[in-house]
A and B are shown apart, each in its own frame.
Chain A
């Protein structure tokens, strides 16, 4: 089946350091979405990327969608303790017939040491 591979699985950083997580799909995506799950919480939608080569920013977070629409990244500048959580990418495949159906990556667990 279609999969989205996400790396790294874990990332430990000192507060103030940068953080990046990457997602890759073997097939072209219609769009890719990013979600954040705080410890003990549920996934919360962050952003959706649709266009080839798209870059979007949310304060210290920068999201990129590859030119081939097969990979994506989330970069956090100068991490803060509030950034702690698991970051998931979720892919929607081109040609998918079920509205809204996503396949989630494995997630990257981010811990930030103060």
Chain B
């Protein structure tokens, strides 16, 4: 299984600002995923990030709001742009392991005031 770290673990931000979340994996992986989990809710996939190509966004999520970088096979960033209180959530990155199972990072807990 992969070991995944995320930075920051939590943050409190002002509306209108942007936050970049980093995800680091201890091994090279092809696919990385970014999820949002609102309080008490399920996981909603934001986008799939492949190294060397543009991220693929799910319905309801756009690149201007959630730009993603994937510069190499062990790292990715997700930026939450022009934040509003509705963006308060837990943001999780994950990687696909063998048999398409997923391993999650510890998450970034974001509160937007």
CB of B31 within 8 A of CB of A99, answer yes
| Residues of A76-113 whose CB lies within 8 A of B | 88, 90, 92, 98-107, 109
Contact B43 A43 (CB under 8 A): yes
Whether A43 and B104, one on each chain, are in contact in the complex, defined by CB atoms closer than 8 angstroms, is yes
What total of chain B residues lie within 8 Å of the partner, measured CB to CB?
25
Assess the A42–B48 pair: CB atoms within 8 A: no
Indicate if A48 sits at the interface (CB-CB under 8 A).
yes
Scan residues 1-46 of chain B and give those whose CB is less than 8 A from a CB of chain A: 1, 30-31, 33, 40-45
Check A45–B103 contact: CB distance below 8 A.
yes
Asked if A99 and B92 sit within 8 Å, CB to CB, the answer is no
Verify B43–A101 contact, CB threshold 8 A.
no
Q: Is the CB of B107 within 8 A of A42?
A: yes
Provided the pairs A42-B92, A88-B42 are in contact, do residues A101 and B33 lie with their beta carbons within 8 angstroms? Answer: yes
For residue A71, CB closer than 8 A to chain B, the reply is: no
Q: Is the CB of B31 within 8 A of A104?
A: no
Write the chain A residue with the least CB distance to B101.
Answer: A45
Q: Are A99 and B100 in contact (CB under 8 A)?
A: yes
What are 8 A-B interface contacts by the 8 Å CB criterion?
A1-B59, A31-B99, A42-B92, A45-B1, A48-B100, A102-B100, A103-B45, A106-B42
